[in-house]
Amino acid sequence: MTDQLSASFVSEIEQEVLGALLIGGDVRDVSDLKPEFFVADIHRLLFGTIREAHERFGSTAPAVVQRALPSEAQALFLNRTGRSPLGYMMDLQGATIYGKGGLKRTGAAVVEQWGRLRVGELGQQLAVAAADAAANPTKIIKTIAADLDDVASALRSGRRRHTLYTMDTATKEALVDVQDAMARGNGLTGHTWGLTDINSTTGGIHPGEMAVIGARPAMGKTALALSVALRCAATGVGVGIISLEMGAKKLALRRLTDVGYDWGVKVPYTDLIKGTVSQKDLDALVAANQDADNLPLWIEEQSGLTITDIRVRIERMAEMARARGVALGVLIIDYLQLVRPSSRYAGNRVGEITEISWSLREFGREFGIGIIALSQLSRGVESRDDKRPSLADLRDSGAIEQDADMVAFLYREAYYLEKAKGKDPDKEADRVNRLIDCQNELEFIIAKQRNGPARTVKLFVDIACSAVRSAARV
């Protein structure tokens, strides 16, 4: 540590935690704290020994801790403090301010200080590396980014929600969710999909869970995702979209036509892109969208994001949501295969997708949000007579099916009928008639659901206007 960083180190922060533990503080209150988070070497040694004494002897009293210290500790403590280990521990006991009750807060402060100083060290390392004319900037960035992500991960662990429950506690909290759902009267235990039949089948978009929606191109993945985002945000839930394929402006045009659809303003969004919309229709779209202008909905359009990049975006969106007085509740990834993998499984696509899928699922748990990950399906679908997708069509890895709490597929028969042509006049007439009948049908095929049935939900879709609704509208 440089002199500048050493000057900003506050030893008393670490001493407060150690003192509280030595007077009988509960080690479980700082279960996420590790010896390496202590900057002073004697504090690292002392904290590790306190934990060991607690595990071996069930006590953190100074006399017990002293017995567990290694033989070389005597000389180290005398050199650093001029006191014996026992004498130093007695000093720590007497100096504690917040006592046992402040352990959680002061433990977090130790991690925060370590994180601040570690970031400073990495900044200095970055400056030294960048000054080398022969250095590879890409390699420097990757190395520093990985180290910074380790720091960020450690800082998050200190703020992690509790994960160990008794069955009684878990049951009580689950019943609170049930009572809330009963009070709402809509059967939802999660956030709304904005689609009645999907809500009734799934119970909503559940925090901490991942739903994967797979489809071939032109089936309506983005249209569905945006429709869900708009209607979920309209209920006061913060929604983030990581759009790795489509830019924010193009999504905004889809939003205009989606919202305008319910106002009877049916304008294909491609007309907006080409500028062929009339001024009257454009004014009507803008008027219809005024109420949706302030929704807690954020779009990240940068392509090629890594898992680390997505984590940063989630944290930023969560901060923006808090500033609006709401909580980030749902994150949509469009789409999973476009997330840039780390170098860990370079060349092994199955390993890369497995890592991406698992990481997205963990984001749901870590941040307490519902994850909706769109997924491209393999071309094998196109070679079959029945082109309705199945779990076997998920591309590159079976881990997607394993990690997802729900897997659904989108299928539009009209898309394939539009491309086909009857072999004789009778078959052509049948094709045209069927196309008319199913022009606005979208099948939401739930192939896997941990907490509900597998079934197909019929939806209404107007692909040109990017509008997806419950089938009851027609």
pLDDT at 395: 66
Name the pLDDT band for 184 (thresholds 50, 70, 90).
low
Q: Which of 261, 272, 281, 218 is nearest to 469 (CA)?
A: 261
Average pLDDT over residues 56-60: 89
- The residue with greater pLDDT, 420 or 201, is 201
pLDDT at 182: 66
pLDDT at 14: 92
Residue 407 pLDDT > 90: yes
Name the pLDDT band for 230 (thresholds 50, 70, 90).
very high
- Which range is least confidently modeled, 131-135, 339-343, 356-360, 431-435? 339-343
d(CA 406, CA 194): 17
Average pLDDT over residues 440-468: 91
Q: Which of 21, 42, 19, 25 is nearest to 90 (CA)?
A: 19
d(CA 83, CA 74): 9
Average pLDDT over residues 283-297: 85
- Strand, coil or helix: 219: coil
Amino acid at 169: T
Report angle CA 362, 324, 305 to the nearest 5 degrees: 40
Q: Which of 371, 222, 245 is nearest to 303 (CA)?
A: 245
Query: What single string gives the DSSP state of each residue in 428-467?
Result: HHHHHHHHHHHTTEEEEEEEEETTS---EEEEEEEGGGTE
According to DSSP, residue 378 is labeled: P
pLDDT at 183: 67
**What is the enclosing helix (H) or strand (E) of 230?**
helix 221-233
- The model's pLDDT over 105-120, given as tens digits with 9 standing for 90+, comes to 898 899 889 989 988 9
Full 3-state SS string of 104-159 = HHHHHHHHHHHHHHHHHHHHHHHHHHHCCCCCCHHHHHHHHHHHHHHHHHHHHHCC
Q: How far is CA 268 from the centre of its chain?
A: 32
Average pLDDT over residues 96-102: 87
- The model's pLDDT over 368-391, given as tens digits with 9 standing for 90+, comes to 899 999 998 888 787 788 888 988
Structure-block tokens of residue 361: 């699922």
d(CA 195, CA 457): 10
